[in-house]
Amino acid sequence: MAARRTTKKPNISAEELLGYYRDMLLIRRFEEKAGQLYGMGLIGGFCHLYIGQEAVVVGLEAAAKEGDKRVTSYRDHGHMLACGMDPNGVMAELTGREGGYSKGKGGSMHMFSKEKHFYGGHGIVGAQVPIGAGLAFADKYLGNDNVTFAYFGDGAANQGQVYETYNMAMLWDLPVVFVIENNKYAMGTSVQRATKSPSLWERGAAYGIPGEEVDGMDVLAVKAAGEKAVAHCRAGKGPYILEVMTYRYRGHSMSDPAKYRTRDEVQKMRDERDAIEHVRDLLLQGKHATEDDLKAIDKDIKAVVNDAAEFSKESPEPALEELWTDIYADTVPQTA
Amino acid sequence: MATEILMPALSPTMEEGTLAKWLVKEGDTVSAGDVIAEIETDKATMEFEAVDEGTMGKILVAEGTEGVKVNTPIAVLVDEGESADDIASGDTAAQALEAAAPAADAAAKAAPAGGSAKAAPPATASAEPKPDTSPDWPEGTEMRTQTVRESLRDAMAEEMRANDRVFVMGEEVAEYQGAYKITQGLLDEFGARRVVDTPITEHGFAGIGVGAAFGGLRPIVEFMTFNFAMQAIDQILNSAAKTLYMSGGQMGCPIVFRGPNGAAARVGAQHSQCYAAWYSQIPGLKVAMPYSAADAKGLLKSAIRDPNPVIFLENEILYGRSFEVPVLDDFTVPFGKAKIWREGSDVTIVSFGIGMTYALEAAGKLAEDGIEAEVIDLRTLRPMDTDAILASVRKTNRLVTVEEGFPQGSVGNYITSVVMEHAFDYLDAPVINLTGKDVPMPYAANLEKLALVTTDEVIDAVRRVTYR
């Protein structure tokens, strides 16, 4: 299998690099727009932005193939855009409109796409982890070589069900990549204030699950680690853990007083470690693109995001009848 | 192009706030993500970040201003070489917002005149109750005597033979042959791929079951008892029951959670609770609680085929009981169809699960005294065959409900509310809800007996509502 590729830095083409730049930029601009719409009162409730963490999903999607599945928590907009879901449908769900992925009935935290193998969007911290292992269980049961990416944060990493899942995933050799997106803060509690474990991925050792720490601000490093993890799973060796070190620039949700970290800390990450700037530098320094090329991409992305915002405002609210639909699937075959 | 910066809503409920401090001044260059102001709400002081880049053209609301309404322009951002007066009309966020609001209004208004009627909930009962009283199997069908235990096993085995995607998982379901021997023989026939022993980890394997259902399988998750499912109730409610709705109908969770529920004998408070009322409260779940072996088999087969999450509540004491079961190739019982075990005209007794034991015993004894009770077994609690109850109450004018769960918020309470609403004028006596006592289950034999509902209590309740 592809295991021999693991230690090598991926040999990347200009085209691929431009693709990552575009995908990450789409997430960032989309999230900035979502923040803006929230401020205008068009998006309600909780809204958790992914700004700063873009390289994690874009790098891992680069390691996925058609048929692979993904499931994550409530900070899910980036995951949906990265796996190819329609920005219009995502934004319209944020505004609670008929054109949203869940017809406006799910909201920011609860979206799904069977077509793109995106299984949510889960609002209960840690609940998506056994669900991810269950998706992998189904693939193994059905005898295909699909892999599931089960994303969760450093906060969820302290939930008991994560370890129940580690145990069974390893016991049954399930093809699941556990992706710990360590953005250093579980809401307002820093990792250091939540655990004395020096690292989160190493906890997998108690169950025999291999893993590693990954620089989540470097999309190429994430992709390389993702390929290694996926190859491990596809080879039938069971689960793999990636602890991706990342950083969330914005608050936990829109209503975050931001008193648990300094402004300087955030600014330093943005100035020195920004994942999009990193790719931008690689593109320019490697002469893969000119400033004008990148400006053109910026312009395209802005248009996509503005269109999504427009769609999300113009799409009507769900019909009142929708209150009473989708509670039960109603076809019960009388013969198996 | 100049852009207005609007007073943001920083929480789901914020309507206004204090502009505590400006961190930039006119003429400063800002880029997206820069903190430009501090805003105080009733809950906290929050940093406000720019979402566009440009130069601070004009500050419209001075720092220290209180009661600034959300969406009020507080500053103007301009591009290089522009002045704050250049705000392009028709291009500001405020106007975009105004444009959006009427659209939503229009959508609400566009709903057809009958819209509100259509948006009414599905009725809990029909105006004229028309219960389905068709027999569960054709007359003359060959019958065989079988225990509830065997019937449950047969149901699973038949469905597993018919559909490779059906599998069973749980503690001791495979090599041990089931803690209560419900899965006896399944490992031999179907192998370890489809009969999966789990570690003792209810929360985890319930979640894995849900994921497997999302992934296209048809899991049967056995809980050694539903008392242990408390560890997993988040996955059952939040992940299994709600996903179809939250996904706008895209993705459901076809899964059966089954196992013994309620009191057994002398196992104390933590192993004796009945969860019928709990689960039957949840939209998105279906709940079955069979009494007889035939219903156990027919309902479990229906549950396994159902595209929705089903809670299947069994009873340890009933496992060993024998009943007549029809010998048919493919016998199923539909959900939402009650069974009338005994017809009568003096009083209606509604029960389900092991409560039926007391209801039927009581009816037998009451008949000796000339009181004819109609005994209805609900079989499924969600959907519930309220038509069967209402039709019967219209005939008998009296109702007693029997269950083992706790009294407050019981299934009987719900039935009573339906009857009050739809058959109030038919009632000749108050409805009595017989339940387990309002105490944690005691261990001592005499106290345990006292805590459970009894046949004598059913007889006494019937005498009270019939004034005989």
For residue A171, the domain's CATH number is 3.40.50.970
Region B302-325: what's the mean pLDDT?
Answer: 98
**Would you say residue B351 has pLDDT above 70?**
yes
pLDDT reading at A277 higher than 50: yes
A209-247 tens-digit pLDDT: 999 999 999 999 999 999 999 999 999 999 999 999 999
pLDDT at B92: 46
In a domain, A110, yes or no: no
Question: Which of A168-182, B30-44, B285-299 shows the lowest per-residue confidence on average (mean pLDDT)?
Answer: B30-44
Q: What is the DSSP letter of A31?
A: H
pLDDT in tens, B48-102: 888 778 888 899 999 999 999 988 999 998 886 676 666 544 444 444 444 444 4
Pick the residue from chain B with its C-alpha nearest to A129. Answer: B207
More confident residue, B36 or B109: B36
Alpha-carbon gap: A137 to the closest alpha carbon of chain B (Å): 6
Retrieve residue B80's tokens: 């290089």
Per-residue confidence band for B127, with pLDDT thresholds at 50, 70 and 90: confident
Residue A222 lies in a domain: yes
**Taking residues B20-36, what's their average pLDDT?**
86
| B11 confidence band (pLDDT: 50, 70, 90) | confident
Size of interface A-B (CB pairs under 8 A): 253
**What integer is the mean pLDDT of A298-322?**
97
Please tell me the predicted confidence (pLDDT) of residue A332: 57
Asked if B183 contacts B134 with a C-beta cutoff of 8 angstroms, the reply is no
Alpha-carbon gap, residue B87 to B32, rounded angstroms = 19
Band (A158; pLDDT cuts 50, 70, 90): very high
Whether pLDDT at A50 is above 90: yes
- Listed range (A88-97, B100-109, B375-384, B406-415) with the worst mean pLDDT: B100-109
Give CA–CA dist B273/B441, Å, rounded: 8
Q: What are phi and psi of B66, to 5 degrees?
A: -100, 160
Distance of alpha carbon B403 from alpha carbon B66, whole angstroms:
59
- For A208: left if phi > 0, alpha if psi spans -120 to 50, otherwise beta; the answer is left
CA distance to partner chain B, nearest, from residue A11 (Å): 33
What residues have CB less than 8 Å from B417, skipping those under 6 apart? none
What integer pLDDT is reported at residue B35 of this predicted model?
A: 82
* A168, A261, A325: best to mutate for the B interface, most B CBs within 10 A: A168
Please identify among residues 213-272 of chain B the ones whose CB lies closer than 8 Å to any CB of chain A: 213-217, 234-235, 238-239, 243-252, 254
Whether A164 sits inside 8 A of B204 (CB atoms) is yes
Instruction: Quote the tokens at residue A175.
Output: 């093809």
Residue A264 class from Cβ within 10 Å (0-12 exposed, 13-18 middle, 19+ buried)?
Answer: exposed
* Average pLDDT for chain B: 91
What is residue B85's predicted lDDT score, i.e. its pLDDT? 67
CB contact under 8 A, B247 and A51: no
Q: What is the mean pLDDT of residues B359-387?
A: 98
A47: confidence class by pLDDT, cuts 50, 70, 90: very high
In a domain, A119, yes or no: yes
Strand order of the β-sheet with B166-170 is B195-197, B166-170, B218-222, B256-260, B310-314, B286-288, B380-382
Q: Which two tokens stand for residue B338?
A: 């009650």
Q: Reduced to 3 states, what is the DSSP secondary structure of residue A241?
A: strand
Is A108 a domain residue? no
Q: How confident is the model at residue B41 (pLDDT cuts 50, 70, 90)?
A: confident
Q: Please, are residues A70 and A83 in contact by the beta-carbon 8 Å criterion? A: yes
Asked whether residue A22 is assigned to any structural domain, the reply reads yes
Over pLDDT 70: what percentage of chain A? 95
CA–CA distance, B349 with B398 (Å, rounded to integer): 9
H or E element in which residue A17 lies: helix A14-39
Percent of chain A past pLDDT 90, that is, above it, reads 90
Catalytic residue among B158, B271, B374, B403: B271
- pLDDT at position A333 is 52
Predicted confidence band of residue B332 (pLDDT cuts 50, 70, 90):
very high
Residue from the list B33, B119, B158 with its beta carbon closest to the beta carbon of A320: B119
Q: Residue B111: is its pLDDT beyond 80?
A: no
Catalytic residue selected from B158, B159, B171, B202: B202
Q: How far B115 CA lies from chain A's nearest CA (Å)?
A: 7
B93 touches chain A (CB under 8 A): yes
Dihedral, CA of residue B47, residue B51, residue B55 and residue B56, to nearest 10: -40
Give B143's pLDDT tier (boundaries 50, 70, 90). Answer: very high
Task: State yes or no: pLDDT of B123 exceeds 60.
Answer: yes
Residue B271 among the catalytic residues? yes
In a domain? residue A330? no
Q: What is the pLDDT of residue B70?
A: 87
Burial B439-467 (b: 16+ CB within 10 A, else e): eebbeeeeebeebbbebebbbebbeebbe
CB atoms within 10 A of CB A331: 8
- Report whether A162 contacts A199 (CB < 8 A): no
Q: Are B27 and B55 in contact (CB under 8 A)?
A: yes
B146, B147, B152, B158 alpha-carbon torsion, rounded to 10°: -20
Structural domain harbouring A200: 14-84+115-311
First to last CA, chain B: 87
Residues of B in contact with A207 (CB under 8 A): none
pLDDT at residue B100 in the model: 44
How many domains is chain A built from? 1
> What b/e string do you get for B213-229 counting C-beta neighbours within 10 Å, with b at 16 or more?
bbbebbbbbbbbbbbbb
Q: Which residue has the higher pLDDT, B112 or B196?
A: B196
- pLDDT score, position B266: 92
Residues 9-38 of A with CB under 8 A from B: 32-33, 35-36, 38
Among residues A174, A73, A89, the alpha carbon closest in space to that of A126 is found at: A73
pLDDT for position B409: 98
pLDDT (0 to 100) of residue A26:
98
Q: Is residue B209 predicted with pLDDT exceeding 70? A: yes
The residues in B 404-463 lying below 8 A from A, measured between CB atoms, are: none
For the question of residue B202 being annotated catalytic, the response is yes
What φ, ψ does residue B428 adopt, rounded to 5°?
-110, 0
Nearest-by-Cβ selection for B247 from A32, A45, A102: A102
Question: A325 in a domain, yes or no?
Answer: no
Average pLDDT value over all residues in chain A: 93
Identify residue B23 by its one-letter amino acid code.
L
> What is the per-residue pLDDT for A122?
96
Residue B113, SS3 per DSSP: coil
CB contact under 8 A, A130 and B93: no
Cis peptide bond N-terminal to B102, omega within 30: no
Most confident of A38-42, B103-107, B450-454: B450-454
Residue B109: pLDDT over 50: no
Higher-confidence residue of B94 and B126: namely B126
Q: For residue A331, is it within any domain?
A: no
